[in-house]
Structure 1
Amino acid sequence: HPASDASPAPPSDGDGTIPREDARPDPPAGAEADDTAPQSASAAESEGEWPPRGHRRSSLFVFMPSTSRPEPITVLGMDCTVPLLEDALTPPLRRLLDEADVICGPARLLDQVAEPEERRIRRIPLTLPLEPLLDRLGHLRAAGAQVLVLSGGDPLFFGIGSTMARQLGADAVRIVPAPSSLQAACARLALPWHRVICLSLHGREDLGPLNAAVARGAPLCILTDARMTPDVIARHLLDRGVDWFTAHVFERMGAPDERRHALDLARTACARFGPACVLILDPTGTVRRPHLGIDDAELAVEGCFTRKPVRAAALALLGIGPRHVVWDLGAGSGAVALEAAALAHEGRVIAVERDPDRAIGIQENRRRFGAATVEVCLGKAPDCLRDLPEPQRIFIGGGLSGPDGDALLATACARLAPGGRLAANCVLLESLHRCGEALRQRGWPLEILQIQSAEALPLGAGSHLAARNPVFLLAARKPGARETE
């Protein structure tokens, strides 16, 4: 349909919108009108012309392909170990390249595409952000063009293939894979890659998946970039007590100047590497993990413990799941955080402590147990809580009896996810009363449990039971939809 004069400026033909060949631009300002001035629609119809000449200047037609089902965009994976495009092309892959009207890919690959003698092809660099680029490729496909996207390795291994299928639809793309960087690196090590856990830190800064994966006792394949280099990753892991890996670093894999390193994590942390590496972490030492029922003697901090029976009851009341975000407020020695990490082994546990010496002790305990998913937040609650991720479980081990106790509890209740659970450790009767009243006023279902235990201690030739101070545990669930695992 012809566009009106108020229509927006026509897009370029690169979006798959093709202007009429007889459309002419408006005359420049001040130009004299010629004798082909616009006629009325009735006059144009009487002369058998449509659209009227006056409308031709602004008319636009979108030509749809002759078939209602255009050919899918081909995403062609290129062997990442072969530096030259020509060397990676088998005859069937060469035909895909020869038949393409539009070729999109990284600049280094586009520069190697020869121009056919009999026709012209359009080269489109692969640039970020991807969304507008993929929209453009989708328009070209809809206009009938044969579109080919070049991708290194397997397009579905942290590649563009999955993004294209998600944005354009699985029926709109055809994936032709090649060996991925994971396969190439494992082949160099004779390492069965079906056992490998694959992660990408290329363009990503979330180290949560890495923290969760290191305790599984399996090899890890990590794709890095200029910021998340292998030495940065090694320092992060060593800081959390993870020291049981041998690092195999492949720099510029497949290039003539490819370099390969095999180092322990301490040496990896002191080295420097290029911006695009494939890192294989192979577990060669004893894997350490936090566990339930940690003995007090195993902890670096003396005092400020939530005793073992209380920890067991509190964790049972919280019902921590594997992917939960857990807050341990007033963490003290971090014992609750460590045992919570044994349960939330794919999530995050944040130990909040305002005393610097105790916070350092929590870091040492994290290192001792290799508890990579435990994070230490040094700060005074509730002020330090505003930037923490939303928790599904909160344990309050201390701070309720202080001057900021009411504000601490109010902030914790506000930040807890709907359906989440909170447990509070109360030693003083006053804290029990204040906390219980605050939760009842909110209408939260409340459980109160008293833990009273005794420990066998030597006495003369035998032993006797020495009673410990009773502890009250309050547990409540925040009304709302229950979270899903």
Structure 2
Amino acid sequence: MPRSHVIDIIGLTPGSPEILPSVREVLARADLVVGGNRLLEAASGILSGRPVKTLPIAGPLGPVLEDVKKASEAGKHVVVLADGDPLFFGIGKRLGEELGRENLRVTPNLSTVQLAAARMGLPWQGMDFVSLHGRDDFAPLYAALVRADLIAVFTDEVNTPAEVARGLLERGADCFSMTVLENLGSSDERIRSLPLPDTWGMDFAALNLVVLERQYPPEIELTLGIPDHYYLHQKNLITKLPVRAAGLAHLNVEPASTIWDLGAGCGAVSIEASHLARRGRVFAVERHKTRAAMIRENIRRTGAWLVDTVLGSMPDCLEGLPEPDRIFVGGGLGGESNRDTGLLDVACEKLKPRGHMVVHCILLDTLQSAREHFKKLGWHFGVTQLQASATDSLAGDFRFKAQNPVFILWAEKP
């Protein structure tokens, strides 16, 4: 696309219909003006009386971007109107990806977040930002809850402030307060600090921003190597710290990994994996209701909001989950009740190519059958046997008490 066909992207002041003189000059030369209906209406007085075409953004961006590209290639001067800063959760990113950043001329304005921070008197250099526009999951929000004390959330007509509050309450993240800022910069601007439960059934203006502030930290700091006794667990059913650390190392978790923890027990592996998969997703799958409740409580206590608890029998309950990059199998393969479930078949099929799987085995039959399975598939695999001993009080002194040996079977999918 020739440089002479540069596309102007202009940010307008949030909530204000005023068009500055510099913007008027650009619009006066425009052949095509693109923007939301509200912004096009604000510019209508300048555009009237001229043979200029307008293109409203009222649906999927694909067709709009195609029309913009065609007009620019035909030598037309295209102007795109946006709210605030077009490169901050705005249309500028998509236009740059589709048409090339070298073909854009961006004129930013005061951003909505900057205006919100000013209204609340909040320093915002440490703020985290989440957009829920068009999303059907809250994974980015839950990831932000883990790492940030101050979060700005961009909502839409489906993911409303009430839905954001519901998502926090479902996770037990009531350590955050919520402020909803509506119609910022306009004459009917409204700012409300709302208790999370009170948002149920509330209506909000279409133009709104949610600001979440952490009021107190989690009871337990989310790290690798959380002591076993910090976790609520049942009948000693927990992957012990040394084995947990070795299993996570073999799992090779990356920041954006999607992880399945199958037979999650109390959720210790899931919770610490979420510390590594800070931009990914973690699913703790457990069939026992009591243990699933313990997972949720351990999530609340550690603030590991990224972890989703899935209650159900495997492999049926895995249907519909996002395909994993990493799978940890801590339970569900060994024992009489787990035979012939086909869990390992399903897990291997669902794992993405070049994904990693780790299976912790205590029973020799489980180790042998899993090993034969990976061998038949032709996967690269190996086994590490780990037996740790920990200090135990005895006769006023200490001794080393041996923990059960565990076989850590790791495999890589081609």
Regarding TM over 0.5, the answer is yes
Q: Does 1:300 align with 2:235?
A: no
Deviates more, 1:113-122 or 1:214-223: 113-122
Gaps of 5+ in 1: 1-66, 480-485
Secondary structure of the corresponding residue to residue 179 of structure 2: strand
Instruction: Give the share of equivalent positions with the same residue, in percent.
Output: 40
Structure 1 residues 104, 316: closer, same or farther in 2, change over 3 A?
closer
For residues 466-485 of structure 1, what are the alpha-carbon distances to aligned partners after superposition, in whole Å with 9 as ceiling and x for unaligned?
A: 43332222122223xxxxxx
Q: How does 1:82-97 map to 2 (within 5 A)?
A: 82=16, 84=17, 88-97=18-27
Alpha-carbon contact 2:27-2:47 (below 8 Å) kept:
no
In the aligned structure 2, how far is the partner of 1:123 from the partner of 1:145? Answer: 13
Q: Does 1:279 align with 2:210?
A: yes
For residues 38-85 of structure 1, what are the alpha-carbon distances to aligned partners after superposition, in whole Å with 9 as ceiling and x for unaligned?
A: xxxxxxxxxxxxxxxxxxxxxxxxxxxxx9754322222110142x2x
For residues 316-350 of structure 1, what are the alpha-carbon distances to aligned partners after superposition, in whole Å with 9 as ceiling and x for unaligned?
A: 22222222122111111111111212222222111
Aligned to 2:158: 227
For residue 353 of structure 1, report the CA deviation from its aligned partner. Answer: 0.9
In the aligned structure 2, how far is the partner of 1:377 from the partner of 1:118? Answer: 60
- TM-score normalised by length of structure 1: 0.77
Alpha-carbon contact 2:10-2:108 (below 8 Å) kept:
yes
Q: How does 1:63-78 map to 2 (within 5 A)?
A: 70-78=4-12
Alpha-carbon contact 1:322-1:343 (below 8 Å) kept:
yes
- TM-score normalised by length of structure 2: 0.89
Match of 1:471 among 394, 403, 406: 406
For residues 378-411 of structure 1, what are the alpha-carbon distances to aligned partners after superposition, in whole Å with 9 as ceiling and x for unaligned?
A: 1222222232222222111112124445611122
Instruction: Give the number of aligned pairs.
Output: 409
What is the RMSD computed on CA atoms of the aligned residues? 2.6
The amino acid that maps onto 1:370 is G
In the aligned structure 2, how far is the partner of 1:317 from the partner of 1:122? Answer: 59
Aligned to 1:290: 222
Secondary structure of the corresponding residue to residue 138 of structure 1: helix
Secondary structure of the corresponding residue to residue 161 of structure 1: helix
In the aligned structure 1, how far is the partner of 2:387 from the partner of 2:150? Answer: 45
For residue 371 of structure 1, report the CA deviation from its aligned partner. Answer: 0.7
Name which structure has the greater RCO, CA cutoff 8 Å, separation 6+.
2
Q: How does 1:24-423 map to 2 (within 5 A)?
A: 70-82=4-16, 84=17, 88-112=18-42, 113-114=44-45, 119-265=50-196, 267=198, 272-287=203-218, 289-303=221-235, 304-401=237-334, 402-404=337-339, 407-423=342-358
Q: Which has the larger radius of gyration?
A: 1
The amino acid that maps onto 1:470 is P
Structure 1 residues 236, 118: closer, same or farther in 2, change over 3 A?
closer
Deviates more, 1:167-176 or 1:340-349: 167-176
Alpha-carbon contact 1:399-1:405 (below 8 Å) kept:
no
For residue 453 of structure 1, report the CA deviation from its aligned partner. Answer: 3.2
For residues 437-478 of structure 1, what are the alpha-carbon distances to aligned partners after superposition, in whole Å with 9 as ceiling and x for unaligned?
A: 222222333322222234444445445444333222212222
Alpha-carbon contact 1:115-1:121 (below 8 Å) kept:
no
In the aligned structure 1, how far is the partner of 2:199 from the partner of 2:247? Answer: 40
Secondary structure of the corresponding residue to residue 398 of structure 1: coil
For residue 376 of structure 1, report the CA deviation from its aligned partner. Answer: 1.1
